[in-house]
Structure 1
Amino acid sequence: MKLTIFAATGGIGRLAVEQALAAGHDVTVVVRNPAKVTADVRVVAADLAAPDPATLKSAVAGSDAVLSGLGPVTAAEAGVAEHGTRAIVRAMTDAGVRRLVAVSAAPIGTVPSGGRPKPPRHDPGDGFFMRHLFGPLTKAALRKHYADLAEMEGVLRDSGLDWTVVRPPRLTDKPPTGAYRTAVGQNLRRGLFVSRADVAALMLDVLERPETIEQVIGIAN
């Protein structure tokens, strides 16, 4: 399969590149700093904070699918997920590429956005402590990050593409387990952590699963 991976030097993106190559896929990566790419792949330099449409279209043209690990690292970067994903969607539409898998975050189902001003108060997969203690604290601390990811999900819902959103909880750098849990449309009970390697594995796995199109997938170890 021919894949284009955005944010390919980030924690999840880098592992998605490694796993995709190990599986025999043909990989193109889109990064802001090509010097950080160590894998033997086609590299396209692009700043998704101020993307060039022609560059992005050339990056995705001919691909079977696109993976995106795009998201704000700091509060100052909030907005990059929404605006960058909007540019990715435009490039894919112009190039005739339909399949897109993107990373979001477990709390986003309860975060308001322009397209969902009144989301559910609680995720059906969250337990008591997540609903009433850990969740509110995390959303307060990462308010700008989550607002950006909520708007990004809205861009995907309105895109007309064959999208899948993966929503992990707190990320770790542990090795892949191959035994992560998933749930469609909700988080996982007692799902507090997941490794970045397992998230990358799920992103590649759902490419072969048409039933995940236009679905949100919760994941946890």
Structure 2
Amino acid sequence: MRLTVVAASGGIGRLALLQAVAAGHDVTAVVRDPAKVASDIIRTVAVDLARPAPDALRRALAGSDAVLSGLGAATKADFGVAERGTAALCEAMRATGVRRIVAISAAPIGTVPSPGRPNPPRHDPGDAFVQRSIAYPIVKAMLKKRYADLARMEDVLRASSLDWTALRPPRLNDKELTGRYRTEVGRNVRGGGIISRADVAHCMLEILDDPATYGQTVGLSD
């Protein structure tokens, strides 16, 4: 499969890139700094998704079968990049005929209001008492702007008419790939609280061909 990995030098994007190459996929990496993924076997396209260049994005997507996006704010200066970058990415996908995209969101986003979902449910049906009452209220207060950006990114995906999936992992760690994790379509994983970035990257690849995840959010956890 020909894949374009966006934010390919980030925590999850870099692992998705490596796993996709190891699985034999033909991969193009979209990054701000191509030197960060320098390789003889990976095509790189320099794009700053905070200020996306439509022509460069279309070049990166030409001939691709699907997109894996780890796009998100790494610093306060990046707030808004998930929404703006994903909007530009979806526009370039429509222009080049690419329909499939898997993007990274976060477990609490189902309860974060956005222009497209101004009155979300107070609780995700998969969240246990500790998450509903303690963990997620604290995290949402700490990461308010970052989560607002991801919620608006999901709005962009819902309005895109593409075959999209937004993965919503809980707290991330840097443990090794296991390939053993749980997923739930349309809700968070009951009792889930942590997952490795490597397993999130693995899930991105695993669900690429799963129509049950098209137009859906997917919760995952160890």
- TM-score with structure 2 length normalisation? 0.98
- Give distance in 2, aligned partners of 1:50 and 1:183: 34
Q: Deviations over 1:18-44 (max 9, x none)?
A: 110111000000000111114430000
Q: What residue in structure 1 maps to residue 14 of structure 2?
A: 14
- Give distance in 1, aligned partners of 2:77 and 2:138: 20
Identical pairs, percent: 63
Unaligned 5+ segments in structure 1 are: none
Name segments (4+ residues, structure 1) moved above 2 Å: none
Q: What residue in structure 1 maps to residue 68 of structure 2?
A: 67
Give the paired residue count: 221
The answer to whether residue 136 in structure 2 is matched with residue 135 in structure 1 is: yes
Q: What residue in structure 2 maps to residue 24 of structure 1?
A: 24
Report the residue type matching 1:27 in the other structure.
V
Q: What residue in structure 1 maps to residue 210 of structure 2?
A: 209
Note if contact 1:12-1:199 (Cα within 8 Å) is conserved in structure 2.
yes
Alignment of 1:94-109 (within 5 A): 94-109=95-110
SS at match of 1:208: coil
- Give distance in 1, aligned partners of 2:62 and 2:35: 23
Unaligned 5+ segments in structure 2 are: none
Shift in Å at residue 95 of structure 1? 0.5
SS at match of 2:132: helix
SS at match of 1:198: helix
Shift in Å at residue 51 of structure 1? 1.0
Shift in Å at residue 198 of structure 1? 0.5
Shift in Å at residue 173 of structure 1? 0.3
Q: What residue in structure 2 maps to residue 154 of structure 1?
A: 155
Aligned-residue CA RMSD in angstroms? 0.8
